[in-house]
Amino acid sequence: MLFKKMFRDIKNNLSQFLAIFLMIFLGVFVYVGIGSEIEGMNVNSENFYKETNMPDLWVSGSFTDNDLTNIADKTSKKLTVFGNIVNKDKTDLEINFINNDDVSSLYVIDGKEFNYDSDKIWFDSELAHNLNYEVGDEVTINFNGTEITKEIAGLVMNPEHVYAVKDASQVFPSHDDYGFIYISSKYYPLGENNIVYNYVLIDTDKPKEVKKDIENMANVISVTDREANTSYAMFRTEIDSHKTYAGVFPVIFLFIAVLSVITTMNRIVKNQRTEIGILKALGFKKSKIIWHYTFYGFIISLLAVILGHILGQTLLGNYILTLESTYFSLPVLTAEINYGYFVISAFIIFLVVLATYFSCFKELEGVAAETLRPKAPKKLKHTWIEKQHIWHHLKFKTQWNLRDVFRSKARSLMAIIGVAGSTMLVVCAFGMLNTLDNFISWQYDDIYHFKNQINLNTPGVIDSSLEDYGTTSSMGIEIKNKGPESLTIDDSGKYITYTDYNKEKISLKNEGVMITEKLADKYNLKVGDNITFKIYGTNSWHTLEVTQINRAPSAQNVTISKEAYEALGYTYIPSVVYTNEKVSDDFGTVYSKEVLRENSSTMLNTMSSVIVIMIIAALLLGAVVIYNLGILSYTEKIRELATLKVLGFNSKNVGKVLKQQNLWLSVIGVIIGLPLGYKLVDIIFSTVMGYSFDIMPVVNISSYVIAFICILLMALFVNVLLNKKVKKLDMVTSLKAAE
């Protein structure tokens, strides 16, 4: 019978039920959706790495077939050279001659497995897709002046090319003009026995020990682990950058939704006081009554959580991954969840049930007769505001609303928190868009001042027709007792500006080194400290003073002037040229600043799409929260509203009374929420981004204005809905019902 009562309660208060349902659903939907996307990237990449034996160590140097064979269970050797496809000048190829694919295996999408004895090539499946190559096609490639033509045996993916960029200087992957191929070393064009491998790939469970064993061998230049592998590290960075929106935002989103639900459940139980009294008077046991009400909370949250879980993962999670899948070469990329999400969802249900339990328990105290009567109203006192002279000049609705707000502090507070929270999320989401825009303009307007960038084919060989240009060169260094970093030698002149905290220009000094602020934070360095480093491939350590700290949005590195670099005894060989002049691509790959900017924007665009989803979700949550509060305050005041109607107020005027309160509370909530939104953007970008990007939190004025208008529009829209309810409000029944 109580079951029947519950379903009728749900039916009679469908709007309230829906509001609660929607809040939990939205919270879980966004939380699980975004979380499952990241988890999908994690799980799918880890599975792929495992399946294909992602190397644990990369040993660079010069090796023959006989070197380093028994160092670990599994080793593979490869010679990596760079070239391009003949007749497709723009397409750069990484060409790998390998002795086997035990480590860093080739994952076949189409065609045959790798075979040492087969004189064919295994081709990057993504690049093949973009170039319309199929298994069986013949491709002619060119490297170091050698041309070879071979048949494609298989289209493959490879764990070292999940995040397919040429090197760390190319921030965003592109499968149009860059790819990799694999060829058996048996068919090395210069002869099987003349091959000198430049890498040994090692798959081991004990990378540290193995590293120690081989580090000092004569033909070894460096031994690096996964963190130093470009694809691996950049994919990790990519996952980390997703944490900008995936970390704090969904948690707060969920928190606001659950908070609203819990407080609403509390009010609902309170409003059922008389019913509880009747049940008690009829002789129902306490436990049964409690069960009845907690089950109500349980069933709503359970349904909402289940739906949120399913749709969050399948729709939102997979949708976001589809936006991004073009950037990553993984055979499987689907949204995944781990048991942690189930735990959190169970915890949400538990919280809702617990909150209902406690509110119910409170109402059940005392004897039935007492519970039956409406709660003895609190002794009303005149608040300070009523003692002001101005009070008597206020309109009735203002007096009434002011008192109502002060008397139902809990509900009003919850209204303000709910609206402030939603506003915060909306501002935050907009702010993230602004911040990404600012990130791009910082890099391309404030730092870069060239028209074209040329990544030289041969370092040091520059087009002699160029009249004015600047250059840089980058190399890997190891900072003693700190870690591997990148060193940029600067001779860029006016073409690159270094900036400080306020994006103000700073000029690079000729002495010492300049490090970015993120690096300074990471290693706890400040101006005046010394760092000791060695350039990979050399053996001498240098100690230099940190003379400047700069800020840069993306590359976090150490910068040294050409003069200071040469003072260390090295010859400066530029590898990248910057100029405003027209350039030919005979000497290297040319990127115009606009192309670079566009590349960056494209990647950020997918992030923007996710953020747009978040804006919509936050606005929806805001709408539901405001709607829920409107319904709640309407239900609690129904008798007074009916009285007003009886006294001759028309529906419009009664609606105005409600509207005034809702608007006030919304405005207060929005005003509190605006600065909190900025704070949230700040937290997200400063704490979550880690050390690879330095992103300044920016929220444009227009974002505040839009958030303000959106939330208020929603409040007004909810008022329209409430006005309809007021109009339908039947005076006779609502006055009678309460008697």
Partner 1 sequence: MEKFMELSNVSKAYMIGDKPFYALKKVSFTIDKGEFVVILGPSGAGKSTLLNLIGGMDTATKGNIVIDGDDITKYNENKLADYRGKNIGFIFQFYNLLPTLTVLENVELISEVCHEKINAKEALKAVGLGKHINKFPNSLSGGEQQRVSIARAVAKNPKLLLCDEPTGALDSKTGVQVLEVLYKECKEDGNTVIIVTHNSLFADIADKVIYLKNGELENIVVNQNPKAINEVHW
Is 171 near partner 1 (CB under 8 A)? no
**Closer to partner 1 at the Cβ: 117 or 739?**
739
Is 372 near partner 1 (CB under 8 A)? no
Judged by CB under 8 A, the number of residues near partner 1 is 32
Decide if 59 contacts 220 (C-beta within 8 A). Answer: yes
**Binding residues among 612-641 for partner 1 as defined by CB under 8 A:** 639-640
Piece of the chain touching partner 1 by CB under 8 A; list 177-185, 372-380, 455-463, 507-515: 372-380
Q: What angle do CA 409, 415, 419 make, to 5 degrees?
A: 150
C-beta of 16: minimal distance to partner 1 in Å? 23
Is 398 near partner 1 (CB under 8 A)? no
Compute the residue count for the chain.
Answer: 739
Is 649 near partner 1 (CB under 8 A)? yes
Is 384 near partner 1 (CB under 8 A)? no
Q: Cα dihedral angle (30, 34, 35, 36), rounded to 10 degrees?
A: 110
Close Cβ partners of 567 (under 8 Å, ≥ 6 residues apart): none
Report strand pairing: 197-203 vs 57-63: antiparallel
Q: Cα dihedral angle (503, 507, 510, 514), rounded to 10 degrees?
A: 0
**Closer to partner 1 at the Cβ: 295 or 400?**
400
Is 735 near partner 1 (CB under 8 A)? yes
Q: Tell me the helices (H) and strands (E) count for the chain, helix number first.
A: 20, 21
C-beta of 629: minimal distance to partner 1 in Å? 18
Piece of the chain touching partner 1 by CB under 8 A; list 32-40, 241-249, 303-311, 643-651: 643-651
Give me the residues paired with residue 550 across strands: 516
**Closer to partner 1 at the Cβ: 582 or 736?**
736
Piece of the chain touching partner 1 by CB under 8 A; list 87-95, 103-111, 142-150, 648-656: 648-656
Is 368 near partner 1 (CB under 8 A)? no
- Strand runs labelled E in 401-503: 452-456, 469-479, 483-491, 498-499
3-state secondary structure of 62: strand
Close Cβ partners of 618 (under 8 Å, ≥ 6 residues apart): 253, 422, 425, 426, 428, 429
Q: Which of 13, 325, 441, 651 binds partner 1 (CB under 8 A)?
A: 651
Is 271 near partner 1 (CB under 8 A)? no
C-beta of 11: minimal distance to partner 1 in Å? 17
Q: How many CB atoms lie within 10 A of CB 652?
A: 11
C-beta of 365: minimal distance to partner 1 in Å? 21
**Closer to partner 1 at the Cβ: 1 or 732?**
732
Is 739 near partner 1 (CB under 8 A)? yes
Piece of the chain touching partner 1 by CB under 8 A; list 243-251, 270-278, 611-619, 644-652: 644-652
Report strand pairing: 588-592 vs 452-456: antiparallel
Q: Cα dihedral angle (104, 557, 457, 442), rounded to 10 degrees?
A: 110
Is 400 near partner 1 (CB under 8 A)? yes
Please list, residue by residue across 554-576, b when 16 or more beta carbons sit within 10 angstroms of its beta carbon and e when fewer do.
bbbbbbbbbebbeeeeeebebbb
Piece of the chain touching partner 1 by CB under 8 A; list 392-400, 417-425, 546-554, 560-568: 392-400
Q: What angle do CA 324, 326, 327 make, to 5 degrees?
A: 75
Report strand pairing: 197-203 vs 121-124: unpaired
Piece of the chain touching partner 1 by CB under 8 A; list 218-226, 524-532, 700-708, 731-739: 731-739
**Closer to partner 1 at the Cβ: 486 or 643?**
643
User: Which pair of structure tokens corresponds to residue 531?
Assistant: 């760092």
C-beta of 655: minimal distance to partner 1 in Å? 12
Is 646 near partner 1 (CB under 8 A)? yes
Is 4 near partner 1 (CB under 8 A)? no
Is 523 near partner 1 (CB under 8 A)? no
**Closer to partner 1 at the Cβ: 115 or 653?**
653
3-state secondary structure of 539: coil
C-beta of 659: minimal distance to partner 1 in Å? 15
Phi, psi of 226 (to 5 degrees): -60, -35
Is 499 near partner 1 (CB under 8 A)? no
How far apart CA 155 and CA 12 sit, in angstroms, is 61
Decide if 183 contacts 150 (C-beta within 8 A). Answer: yes
Q: Which of 380, 539, 540, 543 binds partner 1 (CB under 8 A)?
A: 380
**Binding residues among 699-728 for partner 1 as defined by CB under 8 A:** 727
Is 656 near partner 1 (CB under 8 A)? no
C-beta of 648: minimal distance to partner 1 in Å? 2
Q: Which of 242, 280, 292, 645 binds partner 1 (CB under 8 A)?
A: 645
**Closer to partner 1 at the Cβ: 143 or 406?**
406
**Closer to partner 1 at the Cβ: 225 or 636?**
636
3-state secondary structure of 92: strand
Q: Which of 146, 178, 182 is nearest to 163 (CA)?
A: 178
C-beta of 723: minimal distance to partner 1 in Å? 13
C-beta of 646: minimal distance to partner 1 in Å? 6
**Closer to partner 1 at the Cβ: 212 or 639?**
639
Q: Which of 453, 451, 603, 590 is nearest to 90 (CA)?
A: 590
Q: Give the Å distances, CA to CA, from 714 to 261, 416, 423, 628, 663.
A: 19, 14, 11, 12, 10
**Binding residues among 275-304 for partner 1 as defined by CB under 8 A:** none
Is 729 near partner 1 (CB under 8 A)? no
Q: Which of 587, 571, 585 is nearest to 462 (CA)?
A: 587
User: Which pair of structure tokens corresponds to residue 736?
Assistant: 């009678």
Piece of the chain touching partner 1 by CB under 8 A; list 359-367, 568-576, 642-650, 698-706: 642-650
C-beta of 628: minimal distance to partner 1 in Å? 22
Q: Which of 643, 692, 700, 723 binds partner 1 (CB under 8 A)?
A: 643
DSSP assignment letter at 574: -
Q: Which of 511, 652, 720, 724 binds partner 1 (CB under 8 A)?
A: 652
Is 653 near partner 1 (CB under 8 A)? yes
Q: Which of 64, 146, 465, 650 binds partner 1 (CB under 8 A)?
A: 650
User: Which pair of structure tokens corresponds to residue 610?
Assistant: 């996710």
Q: Which of 145, 283, 377, 569 binds partner 1 (CB under 8 A)?
A: 377
C-beta of 660: minimal distance to partner 1 in Å? 13
Q: How many CB atoms lie within 10 A of CB 307?
A: 15
3-state secondary structure of 377: coil
Report which secondary-structure segment, H or E, holds 71.
none
Close Cβ partners of 320 (under 8 Å, ≥ 6 residues apart): 33, 34, 37, 335, 606, 609, 610, 613
How far apart CA 235 and CA 333 sit, in angstroms, is 13
C-beta of 738: minimal distance to partner 1 in Å? 8
**Binding residues among 402-431 for partner 1 as defined by CB under 8 A:** 403-404, 407
Contacting residues toward partner 1, per CB under 8 A: 377, 379-380, 382, 395-397, 399-400, 403-404, 407, 639-640, 643-653, 727, 731-732, 735-736, 738-739
